[in-house]
Amino acid sequence: MLYADFIAGWAAGGAGLIVGHPLDTVKARLQTMTVYKGILDCMTQTMRQESIYGLYKGMLIPFISTGAIHSLLFAGYGAALKFLHPGESNIEARKDLPMSEILFASICGTMVQVGPVIPVELVKTKLQVQRENISHFKKHAKNLYAGPMECIRDTVRSEGIRGLFKGGSVVLLRDNIGYLFYIPVYEGLLRSFRSQGYENTWTQLFSGGMAGISGWISVCPLEVVKNRIQAMKSHTKISPKEMTLKIYKEEGISAFYRGGWAISVRGFVVNSVDSTAMSTIIFLALLASAVYGLDNGLARTPPMGWMSWTAFYCEIDCVKHPNGCINEKLYMDMADRLVSDGYRELGYKSVHIDDCWSEMERDENGLLEANRTRFPSGMKKLAKYMHDRGLRFGIYEDYGTKTCGGYPGSYGHLKADAQTFASWDVDYLKLDGCYIDTDLMPEGYAEMGRELNATGRPIVYSCSWPAYLIDHPEKVDYNLIGKHCNTWRNFDDINSSWKSIQSIINYYDHNQDKHIPTHGPGKWHDPDMLVIGNKGITVDMAIAQMSIWCIWAAPLIMSNDLRIIAPEFREILLNQDAININQDPLGIMGRLVANTTDLGLYVKPIMPTSDTHSSFGIAVLNRNLSQGRTIRFTLKNIGLTYEHGYLIREIWTNTDFGLMSPNDEIEFNINPTSAALFRADIASMVDPRRWKKFKKDSPFRK
């Protein structure tokens, strides 16, 4: 995140400097000289004597250093929030933090960045004032300093390094007091606008501007004292207290507010631009800077593919069940279906072997080997079969002494097994957790991750680690798990029933505050396989599972028989718009934001974005077993506040709601054990012509 902080800091600080430095120069001269009648007089005389460049004196050093200074500020701010909220990622982006926490974090940020700020302020002030020459207004007078480097050299030569920190205590006091006034005004106004659905660029500009006035007026006396001290001739020493008394005795109380109008105007202009640029760029930088999870660069979007377990379990009797046993033909058949039926083109690109594939014992060298009867070609050739068809090859193992089906586990063989999988050209490993003490899991799963990386082959790593800690939630550290695994199971195995699907949804709903901050590119919570198309699952249930899995940005790993799946289920699995929501590059897990006994409403930010606003996926689940329900909601009440509105469409029925404002209401009927899935695109970012017409012959709800 350091480079994101630097980019945001440099861009935001640079924008503020460009528009505000002339007023800063005027302010500094008004506060240190008595020859000006006011703002306009100072600007006029400066431009007449020194041209427009006179107003930008001293800007080079702040402009060059603003990125580093702001990045220190943001780093200190973010570190303080992470201290208050350990384990929560992207905490800086939250909009519901208590004011006391924001103030604390802001002061921490100020303390971190104040060191480099002091010499930058000193050089800037000396160049702006150039007191010995400018006060006499000789048109062709030579400036005291030719530039910032000469100013720095002269100061160090005359006063040593300490000379660059003259007035430092005043800067420290000024910045901390300023934030105590700035933050409550800025956050208070912004939250007020947000609560009324008016959060946009203009309200952000206004909030930043008013906060800037508040902050700078509150520290105007300190700014006068600081400027007088820093503008003094070399070797002249005076304490802040002595300077304060000197100004008061010689010029009166009004001197402490000299340049107040310049401060107010500058405070409004600079802080409105600065805050708006900063929030926009941090938002974009956060999106662009995500490097999460196991450090292998894989699974940047939720994995998609097919896995055998729920549909075929551990069936090994290929005489009784020639088309339904765990053998190489099964996986070849599914690979062929992924290609021929259009799944591969939409992202389902992995074929995963689950348990019961190996011999019951390791070979004479202690290595795993495929069952010679059911996998006569061997795993390397099976992997080639997948790769030749543009697919990836996944395999199963267990960290314990045995797999859940009783086959050889990896305990004591992690390095050898990782090397074996790499030699077979495996692309994805699911590591289960049967037959092992859960206290050994943190180190064991981490070790396998390291061994996989050490092979040099890119292998997506799926862990079942937290699924074995359901009864010990205090032992589950998703931040730690995310450092070692690309995906992880954390609840019971799914089966082909509504009760099972609903139990998983309930678990995720109750734990979303733990899941959402630890979910994203490279690190995905896995609610288990899609059972769409299996006996016991209706079309409505299939729509519900697909909708919620997509809104969660969950892995879409099917477990069904693709050879006999009905067309209506295949259409659900191949819905491009639903998949697009799932595969959105932001990788944000949708949040349950409204809930009743029967209905749950989920919201997921997606691309495209505009400023600090995003588009959204919206899912509404009807849990009722027998009764349809009508959902009604106003966009702004669920967080859709973009002033230009959204283009909204319900995906399963292709119902086009057109352009809707934040104050508009959606009303929609949902079948029992089913769901609605909406896409809400920011209006200014979408060509309305791309919306499909209503599909009257939809196989789903009418």
Which residues are catalytically annotated?
432, 493
Query: Could you tell me which of 562, 498, 492, 575 has the C-alpha nearest to residue 536?
Result: 498
Could you give phi then psi for residue 119, rounded to 5 degrees?
A: -65, -35
| Contact yes or no for 651/678 (Cβ under 8 A) | yes
CA distance 613 to 630: 28
Query: Which 3 state secondary structure label does DSSP give 407?
Result: coil
Nearest to 633 by CA among 651, 645, 620: 620
- Answer yes or no: are the C-beta atoms of 649 and 679 closer than 8 Å: yes
| Structure tokens that stand for 16 in this block | 């503020």
d(CA 677, CA 618): 6
Q: Whose CA is closest to 221, among 179, 252, 191?
A: 252
Tokens of 199: 């959060």
DSSP label at 672? T
Tell me the C-alpha distance between 388 and 380, whole Å: 12
SS3 251: helix
The C-alpha torsion from 92 through 618 and 608 to 77, rounded to 10°, is 0
CA 259 – CA 256 distance, rounded (Å): 9
Query: Contact, 310 vs 529, CB < 8 A?
Result: yes
Residues making up the chain, counted from first to last: 702
Three-class DSSP category at 14: helix
Contact 295, 229 (CB under 8 A): no
Q: Comparing C-alpha atoms, which of 312, 322, 412 is closest to residue 357?
A: 312
Phi-psi region of 366 (alpha: psi -120 to 50; beta: other; left: phi over 0): left
Three-state secondary structure call for residue 158: helix
As a whole number of angstroms, the distance between CA 459 and CA 488 comes to: 14
Handedness of CA 419, 423, 427, 430 (dihedral sign): negative
CA distances in angstroms from 637 to 32, 131, 196, 628, listed in the order given: 52, 57, 10, 23
Q: Beta strands 646-650 and 674-682: pairing type?
A: antiparallel
DSSP label of 465: G
Per DSSP bridges, beta strands 599-610 and 613-622 are antiparallel
Place of tokens 């992880």: 488
Tokens 């089966």 sit on residue: 495
